[in-house]
Amino acid sequence: MVNMGCGMRGSLKWWVWFLIGLIIGGTLSSGIYYFLQSPVTAARLEYVGLIELSGTIAYSESPLTLISGNVLTPSEVEQLVRQVSSDPTIKTVVLVINSPGGSAAASEEIYSMLKKLSEEKVVVSYITEYGASGGYYIALPSREIIASPHALTGSVGAVSIILNFKELMDKLGVKAETFKSGRLKDVGSAWREITDEERSLLMSMIDSIAEVFKERVREHRGTKIKDYDEVFTARPYTGVQALQAGIIDGIGSIDDAVKRACQLAGIPEDSPRRWIRPRAPSILELLLGGGTSEQAMKLNYEVLLMWPLPSILEPYQITTFSYE
């Protein structure tokens, strides 16, 4: 009888602990479930990524880096895009653009990166002060483009500048001779008068690059633009004018752009924000990353998607169509 009583007490104790375990487990499971489903937790898992795209668009070796205090390079943008693409908590992206444009080739490369990003996540562009020419070009793949009412945008076209020093050289008594394998090898030379044939050739190159820009605008803006003939004069617009012309989708503040991005992505409008900015150069990079004197000796001729042109640009011949 004693042994039976001990067996019953042992069996009862086992069932008590089993029931306690079920209660504790159920309570924890319910708590975790409701915690994960709560609005606060959901918001923590759904971020708005704000990518800062500021400065003149150029490659690091471009002479534009000498005349522009802040430069936006394709390699820099690639790092930012990779960071956003690999983060599953970033549900939507706002491109915060402040750029007058710059190199046509660099603008195209950045455009391609952002177009790929827009296929992965909901992307909205916000133009703060400048989003002109190349700055507008890189905004095109976005689901929507919003600008400050006072922002300067548009300027759909390409430009190039060639300086001629022949008259000055004649006054100084300096003569330059060029040895070339073909009559157009030194097209755009600053040491002699440009010919009508060269003018036609260079204009055809500008038109070709501008046509790619126009095609991008037609592809992404479609029927939103009311008068393509006016837009393709390459004129700039204020934010208010740009909305009337159909080259952007709205005017407002950065908060409005974030709110719209959240709406398009289907996440709470008060979702937390996470700024994605270029990495600041280290002290060692600032000390050793010069190359300025070598770049200053180069005279590159570069086709630009840029407005306005910096006045200090005059000492340079600006094309990328050359072998150095």
Is residue 119 within 8 Å of 87, Cβ to Cβ?
A: no
Contacts 24+ apart (CB under 8 A), 251-255: 251/146, 251/147, 251/148, 251/149, 252/146, 252/148, 252/149, 253/148, 254/50, 254/94, 254/96, 254/126, 254/128
* Active-site position among 13, 185, 224, 226: 185
The whole-angstrom separation of Cα 26 and Cα 300 is 71
Task: Extract the tokens encoding 201.
Answer: 């050739």
Q: Determine whether 185 is an active site residue.
A: yes
Q: Which helix (H) or strand (E) covers residue 109, if one does?
A: helix 104-120
In sequence order, the 6+-apart residues with CB closer than 8 A to the CB of 182 are none
Is residue 160 within 8 Å of 313, Cβ to Cβ?
A: no
Q: Determine whether 133 is an active site residue.
A: yes
For 115, other C-beta atoms within 10 Å of its C-beta total: 17
* Active-site position among 68, 103, 118, 133: 133
Backbone angles phi, psi at 104, to 5 degrees: -65, -45
Helix, coil or strand: residue 202: helix
In sequence order, the 6+-apart residues with CB closer than 8 A to the CB of 254 are 50, 94, 96, 126, 128
Is residue 69 within 8 Å of 104, Cβ to Cβ?
A: no
Helix, coil or strand: residue 155: coil
State the catalytic residues.
Answer: 133, 185
